[in-house]
Chains A and B, each alone.
Chain A
Amino acid sequence: MNSRLKETIEALIFVSQDPLSLERMQVLLEGVPGEDIRAAVDELAGDYSAGDRGIHIVRGGGGYLFATKPAFDRDVRRLLQIERKNKLTSASLETLAAIAYHQPVTQSEISAIRGVDSTYTLKTLLEKKLIKIVGRKKAPGNPLVYRTSEQFLLYLGLNSLDELPSEEEMSRILQEEKPADA
């Protein structure tokens, strides 16, 4: 079994529709020590990124998954007949960021942070499944409470909310912007 561990993992990641986490692999490959799995995954990921391959293994959404390499974006889009990719609008991205950093959060709180009514943007984000409703706040009007979803992590290639840009990274951006804009 051990000699074919890498191949087994490759097969599992290939078939899995959601990112396959190390924990899940450990359950599936009962008896195989965690560090062996880890090493095999790393080796496998290394094989793909080093080799002449169109795909590689990426981490995102708390697990591993296959993705095409960025260089082949145009070709893949031709296959899927997608001319232009829909990036989030800046209003959507701003709302999403406000939610990500302040969750759990209500519509009026988000609107206050942005200084702009965010009802419509929230609806769009809900439709895109990037955020989810997690309940109601015990406050006047019992407003809905929002959080970012698993899909959000995967969309941005994050594994957990801890990987959101940190305060330091943000202040670096602000430092960079100042001389450029002034």
Chain B
Amino acid sequence: MTEGPALPQDPVEPPMDAVPAAGPSDGYQVRLEIFEGPLDLLLFLIRKKKIDIHDIPIAAITRHYLEYLGKKEQINLDREAEFLFVAALLIYIKSQMLLPRETDLAEQDDPRRVLVNRLLEYQKIKAACSLLREKEEDQLLQWKRHFLPPLPGESDLDVVELSLFELAESFFVLMKRRAADSTRIIRGRDVTIEVKMKELVGLLRERRMIDFLEYFTAHESLEEALVSFFCVLELVKTRVAVAVQDELFQTIRVWLRKDPPRQVAHE
């Protein structure tokens, strides 16, 4: 067995809980979130303790690892189950190494082997990440026409009837744009679906067609916009109205169907 005593600490190194997880104010709190996952934490410990990745002292690394996990007062199972899983794996490996054997283990039978291979592979991915990140940053500085709205296609009359889902997506884009616009005081005003529905159908009758984006931009409050959006969805769903988008990124036009089905009783 290769386990040595705990490796000597580097004297200049700050105590473990301060590196690099905790800020100065949050004392002993350890933020596991800064690690992408258990393998990331393990690699960090290995590097920090100057451990040879091919000859990991399992007992020592497990201790450090558990110390890290223990700093957390509450374990969030959703996020940290993976950390606990690797802790269990470490303990399992240690137990395998403690088992008495008649013959010395061949290198490929080392219980640590599986973990080491995973760590090495993960380490490679991490290295690739930092190289890819450079490429990403480099590319993000150079704007291409590719990211602009596409040019009109061959036929301008390539009308697409929209699904409710696409309609909803447009709506969210719009709301996001509006949210970014400015902060303003929200005045309370009750809008009911019934009232809005009447208004909308009236408007559709009168104008024959409304411009989806324009219509919503004209609405003052979020609530009002939301309610009218529900109305449009309802109208499309009950097939009273049709929503059409000519081209990607263009507005959506809504109009009444010529012969709306009778069973709709929203008016």
Contacts and interface: CB of A to CB of B under 8 A. Distances in A.
A88 B129 CA distance: 11
Residues of A contacting B: mostly: helix
A50 interface: no
B262 interface: no
Given A17-B145, A73-B143, A115-B37, A101 B128 contact: yes
A112 B125 CA distance: 13
10 contacts: A65-B146, A94-B36, A113-B118, A115-B40, A154-B144, A155-B139, A165-B127, A170-B128, A173-B131, A177-B47
A165 B127 CA distance: 9
Contacts of B265: none
B214 interface: no
A97 interface: yes
Residues of B contacting A: mostly: helix
B143 A97 contact: no
Given A73-B141, A154-B146, 15 more contacts: A60-B139, A67-B143, A90-B129, A97-B128, A101-B124, A112-B118, A114-B125, A115-B37, A115-B39, A115-B40, A115-B122, A116-B38, A165-B132, A170-B124, A182-B50
Contact of B128 (A114, A157, A164): A164
A115 B133 contact: no
A94 B141 CA distance: 21
A24 interface: no
Interface of A: 17-18, 58, 60, 65-70, 73, 76, 80, 85, 87-88, 90-91, 93-94, 96-98, 100-101, 112-117, 154-158, 164-165, 167, 169-171, 173-174, 177-178, 181-182
Interface of B: 10, 36-40, 47-48, 50, 82, 86, 118, 121-133, 135-146, 150-151
A157 B143 contact: no
A96 B146 CA distance: 21
A97 B130 CA distance: 10
A155 B135 CA distance: 9
Nearest to A89: B36
Contacts of A158: 135
A156 B118 CA distance: 26
Contacts of B140: 73, 85, 87
Contacts of A97: 125, 128-129, 132
Contacts of B48: 181-182
A165 B142 contact: no
B175 to A, nearest CB: 17
Contact of A117 (B82, B141, B150): B82
Nearest to B150: A17
A115 B118 CA distance: 9
Given A113-B125, A174-B127, A155 B136 contact: yes
A178 B50 CA distance: 9
B146 A17 contact: yes
A87 B136 contact: yes
A96 B133 CA distance: 11
A28 B132 CA distance: 34
Given A114-B39, A156-B136, A70 B129 contact: no
B151 A182 contact: no
Nearest to B35: A116
